[in-house]
Each structure stands twice: as C-alpha cells, then as structure tokens.
Structure 1
C-alpha cells in the first residue's frame, strides 16, 4: 500500500477515534477506550465505502454505513462485553436488541449520523489527500 494511502487511512482512523469518543461523551457523559478504537475502525470502513459507492444515492450509502457500524458494534460488543466482561454497554433493555449488543434505535441513529460522516470523509479526501 502506498505511503500516502496509509497516511490517509491513519488520518481517517484518528479523526473517527476522537470524533466518536467526543460524540459518546456528549451523548452518555463518558466513553471507554475501546469505543475510541471502534470509532476509528467504523470511520475508516465508512470512508472506504464512501468512495466504493460513488454514484450511489445518499440514502443507500447511509443504509450501508449504518449496517457497517452496527456489524462492527456487534462484533466489538461480543468481544468486549460478553467475552472479556468489560461491560462497556448493555442494550438488553432496548426494543429488539440482539444479545444486548445492538438495537434498532442506535442503528437508526447511525443511519442519520452517516450523512455528515460521508461529507466529512469527502472533505478529508478532497482537501487533505486529493491525489489518493
């Protein structure tokens, strides 16, 4: 992988990590270091999807983005909460939750959060890494 692409992905990961942590602190009043890692991974996957889905309308991109985030959240939740017993979150009281790790409410929130996230991704690519 070219060095410039590695720099782009590292930048996207870092912005996702810090950004998600800030959102979670605003939403819940606190965060956990595993959520910073997860946020970075999510934003990186969203960023990659954004440019692989060029020409796809924003609503379909948001559905793909919400699915990506929900799947990553489920995998991380199974590892962090169920396997390692870190108890970072518990959605077991939420409607239609799956194993207490994901629920439709947050998938819907991720859907709408993808709108500015795809815009930020495009901005990063165009302004910081236009040659990649």
Structure 2
C-alpha cells in the first residue's frame, strides 16, 4: 500500500506541475502544446526532488541553480525529441544568442532559475500540507 500511495502522490504532483506549466505558457506565449503538460510535470518532479535527495541545509539560491539545470536538461532532451525528431515545432530558440540546436539558450536558463524558486517552495508546501511530509524550512544563502 505504501508504494501505491507514493505513486499516487508523485502522480498528483506531476499533474499539478504539468498543468501549472501549461497555464504559465498560456499566459506567457498565448498558447501551449499538450506535450508541455508532460514536460512541465517532469520538470516539477525533478526540481521538487532536489531537497528530497539533498540536504535541506543547501541554500535556496543553490537549489534554484540546480533546478534551472534540471529544467534546462529536460527542456533540451524534450526539445530534441519533440521539435527535432518528431518535428512538432513547439519552440525554437535558434534566433537566440548562445542557443544549442535551437532547443535551449542562456536567457531561458536564467528564466528557469527564477521560476525554480516558486517551484521549490510550491513542491515543498504541497508535500507538507497534502502529503504530510516535513515542514519546509530554507536557508536563503
């Protein structure tokens, strides 16, 4: 029963993160693609695992930097599959300075860094309030 409960919790967080990112894209770009629910859910789970795997004493600014790296890695892999291989054309950063294959760029990595802060806090808050896990606490620097 414990494994099923853990799977349900992770699925809930995946869906919340995925739908949250989908809605954020609607606000930011005016449209999104259904695949972004999956990409957003993976990013939410990946960033949310940071202080589940690492120590709470890691400053939040470093957690956010690691979160930006996780999101960027997922974005690159997803972009290679969705945009380059499947040719869905969901995003294209080829016009951005410093881009890699048009799938990631420094500007969006900086935006992912800023987005990682509320994602970390939201994940921790939901794990505490909904899942009954440890009360979140942070060290900023």
Output the TM-score relative to the length of structure 1.
0.95
Which 5+ residue runs of structure 1 have no aligned equivalent?
Answer: none
Which 5+ residue runs of structure 2 have no aligned equivalent?
Answer: 135-141
Structure 1 runs (4+) greater than 6 angstroms displaced: none
Give the aligned partner of residue 70 of structure 1: 72
Contact 1:50 1:121 in 2 (8 A): no
Shift of residue 131, structure 1, vs aligned partner: 4.9
Shift of residue 85, structure 1, vs aligned partner: 0.8
Shift of residue 7, structure 1, vs aligned partner: 1.6
Report the structure, 1 or 2, having the larger helix content. 1
Give the aligned partner of residue 37 of structure 2: 36
Give the aligned partner of residue 118 of structure 1: 120
- Structure 1 CA distance for aligned equivalents of residues 15 and 24 of structure 2: 14
| Cα RMSD for the two superposed structures | 1.3
- Structure 2 CA distance for aligned equivalents of residues 57 and 8 of structure 1: 26
Shift of residue 56, structure 1, vs aligned partner: 0.5
Q: State how many pairs are aligned.
A: 132
Shift of residue 130, structure 1, vs aligned partner: 1.3
- How does 1:69-88 map onto structure 2 within 5 Å? 69-88=71-90
Give the aligned partner of residue 22 of structure 2: 21
- Structure 2 CA distance for aligned equivalents of residues 49 and 90 of structure 1: 28
